[in-house]
């Protein structure tokens, strides 16, 4: 160093907090918006978890008096709405925002400002929903948050039955976040269609990108009717409309169709990104290329199409004709075929590999097991006569939590651990990751395995209390005990994220010896991702670099 330089006053190494906050609020960077989506989802995960815990404490024994029926009804409405619209959706969009441009070798999303707008619309939706605690009145005046259930069947949402404004806050919340979802979906599609780096044909896109493309298509098709229905509900409640007002000749059934033409594709909106994580993580930790890439793509597209034709299996008990019932039995069962193909292809990817059981892979293997069970209980519910017994019982609650927690959330945890080094530049604590896995695995199975049984013994969902002597008591007790383990797992997870971010060791660009483009840039990636736009020749560009003697493009 030269001794002639003028001594400058020491510059602060960090900028003031207000300036940094301002940068986050005004950002249009896909990585920052991705992180915002994910942090936002984590806050709501905590809220939704608290609501679930309150319900489980109330149901720990028959005729319990922990909360009133009014509070319980608000809790299940808020829990469902929160977890679907303000945890699962933003989580999925957050990862898509962060990863899709990186994996296709792009510098940002196609429409960065639309991206920011969409995030803030979704965030507004969450604020609307929780503002209802202060601004709404429920079915009984003294109440607050919405209490009409997350699928809000007509005519319970009519002014006659839901006075006050709690239902209106629910409607505004879904309308606002729906606009955000549609904006993000358009953005993802445009990004994937227009911004792939040279050489990345459709046949060479990582599976994660394919799955998010189909997911975004489904969001546009599914969220639009939901938004339309919300507008119709507002018209009913304030402008004298009678779409769903049965007392004036409206139809309760038409709301069900509107809701489930959204509601079932929504399951695939959430599960396809989960499949996307598994399709990236299982190959890397098995040290093998994904088995049957073209079949995996075809199965994804098939799920997208068939997924749009199964919605009325949520309505087997509403008195549809035998012809309609058999149609929806067939379409629903048909979806088991492409889904099964996916499970078999992941298995075949592991087969003959050298599997490394780091935390992301543990979550993915548990996902395969749990998604298998969830799929099989799903087939039992697709058999309409079984649904006449099991529909709207705790068996259904157990089934869809098996899908959403056992399938989707386990994959989301896998994704957290897998990409945490890329996003933060720090390595997470492996021992804490494994502790999180085992606590959550045990808690999940205590809660949701045993929850199937009271359903088969006749326990309907959405009851704030139940009668003794029906053989439900012991199962409900076990289900509630499982919550303790799940909550402990979540706390370990949160501690791991915070501790590793502050104190973790530096991860390096490519800690997993992985193969997709995001691992070729810095950790965290610099602004605009790539100094030079990469060119790819195969689905695993980094494999080609690491194995010049045996590159993938010879075989694809």
CA–CA distance, 335 with 132 (Å, rounded to integer): 38
CB of 274 to another protein, least distance (A): 17
The correct pick among 22, 24, 389, 508 for binding another protein (CB under 8 A) is: 389
The correct pick among 55, 329, 398, 483 for binding another protein (CB under 8 A) is: 329
Find the DSSP H helices in 136-251.
Answer: 166-194, 207-238
- Interface of this chain with another protein, residues 18 to 77, rule: CB under 8 A: 68-70, 73
Pair of tokens at residue 235: 């018209």
CB of 125 to another protein, least distance (A): 23
Buried b (16+ CB within 10 A) or exposed e, 411-428: bbbbbbbbbbbbbbbbbb
In sequence order, the 6+-apart residues with CB closer than 8 A to the CB of 322 are none
- Interface of this chain with another protein, residues 341 to 360, rule: CB under 8 A: 341, 343-345, 347-348, 350-357
The correct pick among 105, 391, 406, 504 for binding another protein (CB under 8 A) is: 391
CA–CA distance, 307 with 304 (Å, rounded to integer): 5
Convert residues 132-151 into a mask of x (bound to another protein by CB under 8 A) and - (unbound): -------xx------x-x--
CB of 338 to another protein, least distance (A): 9
If the CB atoms of residues 127 and 253 are measured against another protein, the closer one turns out to be 253
- Interface of this chain with another protein, residues 234 to 293, rule: CB under 8 A: 246-247, 249-253, 286-289, 291-293
Pair of tokens at residue 270: 């959430």
Q: How far, in whole angstroms, is CA 530 from its chain's centroid?
A: 28
Q: Is 414 in the site for another protein (CB under 8 A)?
A: no
- Interface of this chain with another protein, residues 144 to 183, rule: CB under 8 A: 147, 149, 153-156, 161
CB of 386 to another protein, least distance (A): 5
CB of 337 to another protein, least distance (A): 5
Asked if residue 87 lies in contact with residue 41, where contact means CB atoms within 8 angstroms, the answer is: yes
Asked if residue 237 lies in contact with residue 174, where contact means CB atoms within 8 angstroms, the answer is: no
Give phi and psi for 495, each to the nearest 5.
-60, -40
In sequence order, the 6+-apart residues with CB closer than 8 A to the CB of 100 are 106, 109, 188, 191, 192, 208, 209, 212
The correct pick among 321, 502, 503, 531 for binding another protein (CB under 8 A) is: 321
Which span (111-119, 264-272, 330-338, 408-416) binds another protein, by CB under 8 A? 330-338
If the CB atoms of residues 24 and 161 are measured against another protein, the closer one turns out to be 161
The correct pick among 198, 203, 471, 526 for binding another protein (CB under 8 A) is: 471
Q: How many residues bind another protein (CB under 8 A)?
A: 99
Which span (372-380, 403-411, 498-506, 516-524) binds another protein, by CB under 8 A? 372-380
Find the DSSP H helices in 425-531.
Answer: 430-450, 452-456, 473-503
CB of 418 to another protein, least distance (A): 16
The correct pick among 208, 390, 405, 542 for binding another protein (CB under 8 A) is: 390
Angle, helix 252-286 to helix 89-103, in steps of 10 degrees: 40
CB of 316 to another protein, least distance (A): 9
Which span (90-98, 173-181, 303-311, 315-323) binds another protein, by CB under 8 A? 315-323
- Interface of this chain with another protein, residues 72 to 131, rule: CB under 8 A: 73
- For residue 393, what are the β-bridge partners? 460
In sequence order, the 6+-apart residues with CB closer than 8 A to the CB of 337 are 302
Sign of CA dihedral 195, 510, 363, 54: negative
- Interface of this chain with another protein, residues 473 to 532, rule: CB under 8 A: none
The correct pick among 373, 423, 451, 490 for binding another protein (CB under 8 A) is: 373
Angle, helix 166-194 to helix 112-135, in steps of 10 degrees: 170
The correct pick among 9, 12, 294, 548 for binding another protein (CB under 8 A) is: 294
Sign of CA dihedral 150, 52, 57, 453: positive
């Amino acid at each position: 160093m030269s001794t002639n330089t003028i001594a400058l006053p020491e510059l602060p190494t960090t900028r003031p907090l207000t300036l940094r906050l301002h940068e986050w609020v005004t950002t249009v960077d896909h990585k920052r918006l991705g992180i915002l989506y994910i942090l936002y989802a984590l806050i709501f995960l905590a809220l939704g978890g608290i609501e679930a815990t309150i319900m489980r404490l109330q149901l720990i024994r028959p005729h319990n008096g922990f909360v009133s029926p009014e509070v319980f009804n608000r809790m299940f409405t808020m829990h469902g709405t929160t977890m679907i619209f303000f945890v699962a959706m933003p989580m999925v969009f957050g990862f898509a925002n962060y990863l899709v441009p990186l994996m296709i070798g792009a510098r940002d999303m196609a429409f960065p400002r639309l991206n920011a707008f969409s995030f803030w619309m979704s965030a507004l939706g969450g604020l609307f929903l929780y503002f209802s605690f202060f601004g709404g009145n429920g079915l009984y005046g003294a109440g607050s948050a919405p209490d009409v259930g997350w699928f809000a069947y007509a005519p319970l949402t009519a002014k006659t039955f839901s006075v006050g404004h709690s239902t209106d806050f629910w409607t505004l919340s879904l309308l606002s976040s729906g606009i955000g979802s549609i904006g993000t979906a358009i953005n993802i599609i445009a990004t994937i269609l227009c911004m792939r780096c040279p050489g990345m044909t459709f046949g060479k896109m990582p599976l994660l990108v394919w799955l998010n493309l189909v997911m975004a298509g489904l969001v546009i098709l599914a969220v639009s009717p939901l938004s339309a229905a919300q507008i119709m509900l507002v018209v009913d409640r304030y402008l004298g409309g009678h779409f769903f007002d049965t007392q004036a000749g409206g139809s309760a059934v038409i709301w069900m169709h509107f809701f489930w033409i959204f509601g079932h594709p929504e399951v695939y909106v959430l599960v396809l990104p989960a499949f996307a994580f598994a399709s990236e993580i299982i190959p890397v930790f098995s040290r093998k290329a994904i088995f049957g890439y073209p079949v995996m793509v075809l199965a994804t597209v098939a799920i997208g199409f068939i997924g749009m034709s199964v919605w009325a299996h949520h309505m087997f008990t509403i008195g549809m004709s035998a012809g309609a019932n058999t149609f929806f039995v067939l379409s629903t069962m048909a979806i088991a075929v492409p889904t099964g193909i996916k499970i078999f292809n992941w298995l075949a990817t592991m087969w003959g590999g050298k599997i490394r059981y780091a935390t992301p892979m543990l979550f993915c293997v548990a996902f395969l097991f749990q998604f298998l069970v969830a799929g099989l209980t799903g087939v039992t519910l697709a058999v309409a006569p079984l649904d006449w017994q099991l529909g709207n019982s705790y068996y259904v609650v157990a089934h869809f939590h098996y899908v959403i927690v056992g399938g989707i959330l386990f994959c989301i945890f896998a994704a957290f651990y897998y990409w945490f080094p890329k996003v933060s530049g720090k390595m997470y604590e492996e021992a804490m990751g494994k502790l999180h896995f085992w606590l959550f695995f045990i808690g999940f199975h205590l809660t949701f395995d045993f929850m199937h049984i009271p359903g088969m013994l006749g326990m309907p969902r959405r009851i704030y209390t139940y009668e003794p002597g029906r053989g439900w008591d012991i199962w409900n007790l076990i289900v509630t005990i499982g919550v303790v383990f799940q909550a402990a797992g979540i706390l370990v997870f949160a501690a791991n994220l915070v501790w590793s971010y502050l104190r973790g060791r530096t991860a390096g660009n490519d800690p997993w010896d992985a193969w997709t483009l995001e691992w070729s840039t810095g950790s965290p990636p610099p602004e605009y991702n790539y100094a030079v736009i990469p060119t790819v020749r195969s689905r695993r560009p980094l494999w080609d670099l690491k194995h010049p003697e045996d590159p993938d493009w010879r075989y694809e």
